[in-house]
Structure 1
Amino acid sequence: MASLPRFQGIPDILYGTAFKFEQSASLVSEALKAGFRAIDTAGSRTAYQEDLVGNAIDSAITSGHVKRHELYIQTKFSPFKAGKDPALYPYDTAKSISEQVEESVASSLANLRTTYIDCLVLHSLYQDIQNTLIAWKAMEALVPSKVASLGVSNCDLESLRQLWEAADIKPVVVQNRFTEDIAGRPNPAMPPNLPYPLVSFDRDVREYCGTHGIVYAPWGLLWGNPSVLDDPKQILETAGQEIGVSKQILLYAIMRSIGGCEMSILCGTTKVAKMHETLEGLTKIKSYIAESDIQRKRWEDYARSIRDIIC
């Protein structure tokens, strides 16, 4: 069996496919054309349609637009949740957790038309940490034959600490909901059943990630943080006008500049123009920072102002 390419690290930005459903193929195709080279998906059909994501990736590779080694494909093993339709899961929910992981990954490889997955993420935790560790050990068994790296999502600090200490193969990424709202103070304007951090802006988890060299990937960054996007001081608005990009793109870039831990951004826009605008805007910001020491220092001031809000 051919060995997997060496893990090269988490890309700066991924295209997220949650809740794209029947639009998944067309949107992933457009994202790849726009220049995205990292795709985040999952085998569970509760929020994803992984087979359509795979169709788009396969078409892009077959047409010569991209090569497989240029892509970073991240998918997830989603633990079964009571009350959900078992048919939405890519495994037999009556089997053991280890068998479920194997079946889920086999399904993902078939859906994505690939021989390996760049990162396999544990989509959520089990109520019992021991079951979480059983799932993780089953995921570890797939490295490096089918999977290059592992990550975890929707994870609190204590569970992350226990996972890290027990794991032989450490998580390279934590993908968590990023918001000022917390579990003890949910936002009534948001949809019910959303996960919440225990600490505002997930500060405790981000600190742990920074200490242990784990990449932090915030999801819900734009729609979940009006207090940052619409800050009364209009920091993002001011910086965006100066550089010539939207405040949303500014937030993407500033999140990677605030320090504390390395970050990878999830972008899930359904608008083709926004895909291009996002990637072009991030490039524009890099050029702005590199043009002069004055602009670099100004950027650092903008980043510091946002850091004061979320850190």
Structure 2
Amino acid sequence: MAGPDPARFQGIPSIIYGTAFKFEKSASLVEAALNAGFRAIDTAGSQSAYREALVGKGLAAALTSGAFERSELYIQTKFSPFKSGKDPASYPYDTTKSIPEQVAESVESSLVNLGVAYLDCLVLHSLYPDIQDTLTAWKAMETLVPSKVASLGVSNTDLQSLRRICEVAIVWPSAVQNRFTQDTIDRPNPTFPSDLPYPLVTFDRDVREYCRRHRIAYAPWGLLWGSLEVLNGPEQLISKAGQEVGISKEIACFACMRGLGGCQISILCGTSNEGRMHETLEGLAKVERYLAESKEHREKWKGFVDRLRVVIDGGETLASDG
């Protein structure tokens, strides 16, 4: 089976602005995020949590500033498989048609909504109950590369399904976008909505290790809710890392995660606060300056990251049978 394109892997941004649950504020927030310095946007055509057309309006408004061009942006959207019991009207395609037809209609709708000629990444939003349907959707997505889509990704996947996709793929996933939490399917958190996806293994260790081995980027979502305090721990590890550089613990968490090593980590940031948009990007740049200042700083930061690795993975990269 063919592997992913190394050049495409390198092109995935290290931070992406997420538009889930922004609803009617999507246009103004996307415009603000791009003007703040974000150069990557994540959205979806499904109406359940996204307003893709408004994301497109925000994108168009920001582009009129002339501060950047479309070619400098990474625009990612999703094909969302129809789920029984959901309102068919919330999907950007005819749910009675075949899966390949649904994929084609969804992408055409996304291109119109976003006002772009191509997508930098098309993500399979979730898996079908039947793996064969998942593979059918993936093969349909592949037919759009490279004419309308530059790369493909998959979200909310387990390791076995990810392997199956890669076994048949001509175009490998360039990224996996999964929920990042210590909670698992057999140990869900009762304080969160019952329909949230859960990894099979704490902190998605098995999927991240597969991504490391096969040079697939990993984009954790939900990083700051449900995980931040766990990662911070009684040692206040993340808080201390932030204090060392002069940034918030939230930004320190982003920076530490990006420094874990192994697979490339692409952070999803979904703040609705314009001030925090600037603060996040400036804070991450501040970490880079701190690391460039001295070997002592780099060693001190490495200590924070190494201790975080103990919390997440027991201090080492997990083995995998590939």
TM-score by length of 2: 0.93
Query: Structure 1 counterpart of 2:125, which letter?
Result: H
State the partner residue of 2:203: 201
Alignment-derived partner of residue 320 in structure 2:
none
**Which of residues 190, 193, 209 in structure 2 aligns to 1:191?**
193
Q: Given the alignment of the two structures, is residue 74 of structure 1 paired with residue 76 of structure 2, yes or no?
A: yes
Which amino acid letter does the alignment assign opposite residue 146 of structure 1?
K
User: 1:196-228 CA deviation, whole Å, 9 max, x = no partner?
Assistant: 000000000000000000000000000020443
Identity in percent: 65
> Could you tell me which amino acid in structure 2 is paired with residue 115 of structure 1?
A
| Structure-to-structure mapping, 1:88-237, within 5 angstroms | 88-237=90-239
Partners of 2:94 and 2:236 in 1: how far apart? 51
TM-score between both structures, scaled by the size of structure 1: 0.97
CA distance change for structure 1 residues 219 and 298 in 2, over 3 Å: closer, same or farther? same
- Structure 2: state its 5+ residue gaps: 1-6, 314-322
Is 1:39 the counterpart of 2:25? The answer is no
Question: Which residue pairs with 2:4 in the alignment?
Answer: none
Q: Secondary structure, in 3 states, of the residue corresponding to 1:172?
A: strand
> How far is 1:63 from its partner?
3.2
Shift, 1:66, TM fit: 2.2
Residue 284 in structure 1 maps to residue 299 in structure 2: no
Shift of 1:190: 1.0
The one-letter code sitting in structure 2 at the alignment partner of 1:97 is I
Question: Judging changes above 3 Å, is the alpha-carbon distance between structure 1 residues 226 and 240 closer, same or farther for their aligned structure 2 residues?
Answer: closer
Identify the residue that residue 63 of structure 2 maps to in structure 1: 61
- Aligned-residue CA RMSD in angstroms? 1.2
1:121 partner letter: V
8 Å Cα contact 2:52/2:114 also seen in 1: yes
**Partner amino acid, structure 1, of 2:23:** F
CA deviation map 1:68-107 (0-9, x unaligned):
0010000000000111000000000000000000000000
Moved more, 227-236 or 82-91: 227-236
Match of 2:264 among 262, 269, 284: 262
Query: How far 1:7 moved relative to its partner?
Result: 7.8
Quick check: 2:8–2:151 contact (8 Å CA) kept in 1?
Answer: no
Q: In structure 2, do the counterparts of structure 1 residues 59 and 198 end up closer, same or farther at CA, with 3 Å as the change threshold?
A: same
SS in 2 for 1:19: coil
Distance 2:135 2:218 in 1: 20
Q: The residue matched to 2:24 in structure 1 has which SS?
A: helix
8 A Cα contact 1:143 1:149, kept in partner: yes
SS, match of residue 145 in structure 2: coil
Question: How far apart, CA to CA, are the structure 2 residues paired with 1:12 and 1:252?
Answer: 10
Equivalence for 1:238 = 240
Separation in 2, partners of 1:250, 1:6: 27
**Does the Cα contact within 8 Å between 1:229 and 1:248 map onto a contact in 2?**
no
What code does the residue aligned with 1:288 have?
Y
The amino acid across from 2:290 in the alignment is Y
Indicate conservation of the 8 Å contact 2:9/2:215, yes or no: no
Q: Decide whether aligned partners of structure 1 residues 234 and 8 sit closer, same or farther in structure 2, where only a CA change above 3 A counts.
A: closer
Please tell me whether the aligned partners of residues 260 and 305 of structure 2 are also in contact (alpha carbons under 8 angstroms): yes
Consecutive unaligned residues in structure 1, runs of 5 or more: none
- Separation in 1, partners of 2:68, 2:151: 22
CA distance, structure 1, for counterparts of residue 77 and residue 240 of structure 2: 37
Deviation of residue 6 (structure 1)? 7.5
Q: What's the offset of the Cα at 1:260?
A: 2.0
Query: Using the alignment, how far apart are the partners of 2:68 and 2:45 within structure 1?
Result: 23
> What is the CA-CA distance between 1:235 and the residue it aligns to?
1.1
Q: Which stretch shifts more, 233-242 or 291-300?
A: 233-242
C-alpha offsets along residues 105-140 of structure 1, whole Å, 9 cap, x if unaligned? 000000000000000000000011110010001100
Please tell me the residue identity of whatever aligns with 1:240.
G
Moved beyond 2 Å, runs of 4+: 5-8, 226-230
Residue of structure 2 equivalent to 1:252: 254
**d(CA) in 2 for partners of 1:63, 1:260:** 38
> What CA distance in whole angstroms lies between the structure 2 residues aligned with 1:186 and 1:228?
15
